[in-house]
Structure 1
Amino acid sequence: MELNSRKIQILQAIIMNYLETAEPVGSRTISRRFPLGISSATIRNEMSDLEELGFIMQPHTSAGRIPSSKGYRLYVDHLMRTKSISSEQMEILKRILREKRNQLDSLLKEMGDLLADLTRYTAIVTMPQFKKTRLKHLQLIALDNNSVILVIITDGNVVRNNVLQIEQPFSQEDLYRLSEVLNTNLSGLTVEEINLPLIQKIKKEMKVDQTMMDGLLDAINETLQFADDVDVFTSGATNILNFPEFADITRARALMEVFEEKEQMLSMVHSSLSGKSPMSITIGTENTMEELQDCSIITAIYHYGNRNIGSISVVGPMRMDYDQVVSTLGCLIKDFQQLFPDDKKTDAEAKPKSRIVENPPGEPST
């Protein structure tokens, strides 16, 4: 049995009707609503074939048919036609991007809010992966005799604060000078490029009593290596509950629990990505998590310069408006990446040249 053009037309009609009504559809409805030029009896026979091929299914005895995950996959891969977003929506998008371009974390949250509002589904944004961002500035501030605050600012003005425990007190003057040394040697590197050998190199260049600096520099290195705790921002989590597919309280509760657990959301986003595609779509039973097998997830990777540093996802029912979501998300990602046209250096070009550290902390000038 082959999937001919007539079967594809009928499958598309079933999908379009179900997207609109959320109700199983029968042959008479297809015959009445869509000008296919064939009788309802012929449509009924073709629907039986489509069900046997796995593209549609019958949710209840004597009910009409609804698309299956396989049917939606055919639609997304071969039949979908993306839409254009309105000029008003485009202007809102551009305004947010202009106003927030120097505050990357705030900008991404605004993008999630906008996406949830435009699509009426749930948007999930993973914030920049810390180790893939470039160090812009680092500052050490004395908190007390046993603690130092490490302030890290990466590109896009993303700020991280960590409290370091130290064995001996440092004056704020020494911490200012050490901050300057570290900025000279580390600025422009991605966090994952800042490793223990590089820290050891800085120690040697500083030519001071190693016991004075070992504890602090090791604490800084450990903080950089283990601070990649990816933040996840969810917008419109309850939007999906407005769809009749989630009227069942047990099903709705299970889905909300996924949205509330950070590790589950990260697992969901990771599993929705496929290969090197800039945008991935997982549909229904293609999702590995049972709680998400009534949902579809569309995920796009966003770039800062030439680096993939995070993702933006839209979660909705399987009968989501794929055309609209793909168009809206595509415009959002495209305009976001156009904000940073000058950040195109390769990793090799971005690495600072070897530097000689003059007058390090604790060593008097000659």
Structure 2
Amino acid sequence: MLTERQKDILRLIIQHYTTTGHPVGSKKLLEDGIKSSSATIRNDMKALEEHGLLLKTHSSSGRVPSLMGYRYYVDHLLQPTKMAPDELSQIRQSFGSEVREINDIIEQAASILSELTSYTAFSLGPEVKEKKLTGFRMVPLNERQIVAIIVTDKGNAESKVFSIPASVSSEDLEKMTNIINEKLVGQPLLVVYHRLRTEIPMILHRYFQTPDGMMNLFDSMLGHVFEEKVFVSGRLNLLDFGISMNNDQLKSVYSFMKNTEELTTLLDTSEGVNVPISVRIGSEIGNNLLDDLSMITATYEVTGHGKGTIALLGPTSMPYSRMFSLIDAFRGELASQLGSYYRFLDG
């Protein structure tokens, strides 16, 4: 159990260190308003060190926070700084008005958040389960290639080029388009996904001589609709976080940040405490490549359209009070931007 003075000392040391990067000694704490003698402050600092909350540096008598110290601070001492009106206005104005679909806004969010913080930022749109399939077309490019165009009611349009097996005729493609429009358009994507695994294979067996090949093509065309898109911005900012990585570690981190499935898992905090903003420090992130970093993850909700996620990955010495406030304001503005766009779609 920490005394109130020890809590104040820990809070001031973390606030100073995350701002300047310099160890903090008793003299600085006296200047910052701790009303005790230097000897008493040093004793409290030693006690905090024994609790595992501070570390003593070799170069001076000052102390720096430990990972456990940051954790205690975030859980018990963090007081979000108040965002200035001009900062809020900057966030609002950063979102461009020229957007073609929802993913443009989601991608833009990661870019803006990274630029505002100089950290690595992630953004994930509202949940796939809320979407419906509203349109499907196939446009021939040449004898053996088509473009499949898939549209959902949440403003997303997906297009992908496919090579057609020699055994598939133009009549087969027309039948497939009719099946998708008759059986799947207008249905929620989770229903579409389920029917692709159950009802559709039986229908294909009825209509086609080589149903397995058609099923693979069918699955390829619609399967990528169910992928969660995680947008990442500021990957190279990792090099500025002051952590030492060899070339192999850097390659592993960079490869990890291009893996959608792993990133989706990283951003999923559903098994943790149900709070809108969570802070994970070091090993709590759940990936040993990121053990020297901290991650702030925030959810946002667009009424009637599900929840999305934004996150910041930065050094453990990030200024938590400011970053907490920034991401809180940002998630509110992102929800507002998406809400306005959905209302525009609904006409």
TM-score range, shorter chain: 0.7 to 0.9
Deviation at 1:85, TM superposition (A): 3.4
Deviation at 1:90, TM superposition (A): 3.0
Deviation sequence 1:220-263 (CA, Å, 0-9, x none): 245434664444433223334345x33x4x36973564134336
CA distance in structure 2 between the aligned counterparts of 1:101 and 1:275, rounded to whole angstroms = 34
2:10 alignment partner in structure 1: 11
Would you say 1:261 and 2:259 are equivalent positions? no
Q: 1:162 to 1:49 in 2, by over 3 A?
A: same
2:299 alignment partner in structure 1: 301
1:123 alignment partner in structure 2: 121
Alignment of 1:327-342 (within 5 A): 327-338=325-336, 339-340=338-339
CA distance in structure 2 between the aligned counterparts of 1:67 and 1:131, rounded to whole angstroms = 42
CA distance in structure 1 between the aligned counterparts of 2:256 and 2:15, rounded to whole angstroms = 34
> Is the 8 Å Cα contact of residues 147 and 161 (structure 2) preserved in structure 1?
yes
1:182 alignment partner in structure 2: 180
Deviation at 1:285, TM superposition (A): 3.8
Would you say 1:281 and 2:279 are equivalent positions? yes
Name the SS for the 2:83 alignment partner.
coil
Deviation sequence 1:23-78 (CA, Å, 0-9, x none): 222222222x2111101100110111111111111243754211112211222222
CA distance in structure 2 between the aligned counterparts of 1:63 and 1:306, rounded to whole angstroms = 56
2:190 alignment partner in structure 1: 192
Identity across aligned pairs (percent)? Answer: 26
Q: Report the count of equivalent residues.
A: 336
Gaps of 5+ in 2: none
Would you say 1:235 and 2:233 are equivalent positions? yes
CA RMSD, aligned part only?
3.7
Alignment of 1:317-336 (within 5 A): 317-336=315-334
2:53 alignment partner in structure 1: 55
CA distance in structure 1 between the aligned counterparts of 2:250 and 2:110, rounded to whole angstroms = 19
2:71 alignment partner in structure 1: 73
Q: 1:251 to 1:128 in 2, by over 3 A?
A: farther
Name the SS for the 1:113 alignment partner.
helix
CA distance in structure 2 between the aligned counterparts of 1:80 and 1:267, rounded to whole angstroms = 30
Q: 1:204 to 1:68 in 2, by over 3 A?
A: closer
Deviation sequence 1:342-364 (CA, Å, 0-9, x none): 979xxxxxxxxxxxxxxxxxxxx
> Is the 8 Å Cα contact of residues 123 and 236 (structure 1) preserved in structure 2?
yes
CA distance in structure 2 between the aligned counterparts of 1:304 and 1:220, rounded to whole angstroms = 31
Deviation at 1:19, TM superposition (A): 1.3
CA distance in structure 2 between the aligned counterparts of 1:186 and 1:51, rounded to whole angstroms = 62
CA distance in structure 2 between the aligned counterparts of 1:185 and 1:268, rounded to whole angstroms = 32
CA distance in structure 2 between the aligned counterparts of 1:292 and 1:196, rounded to whole angstroms = 36
Q: 1:80 to 1:60 in 2, by over 3 A?
A: same
Q: 1:210 aligns with which of 198, 207, 223?
A: 207
2:101 alignment partner in structure 1: 103
Amino acid at match of 1:19: T
Deviation at 1:200, TM superposition (A): 7.0
Amino acid at match of 1:4: T
2:19 alignment partner in structure 1: 20
> Is the 8 Å Cα contact of residues 54 and 70 (structure 1) preserved in structure 2?
yes
Deviation at 1:88, TM superposition (A): 3.8
Amino acid at match of 2:170: F
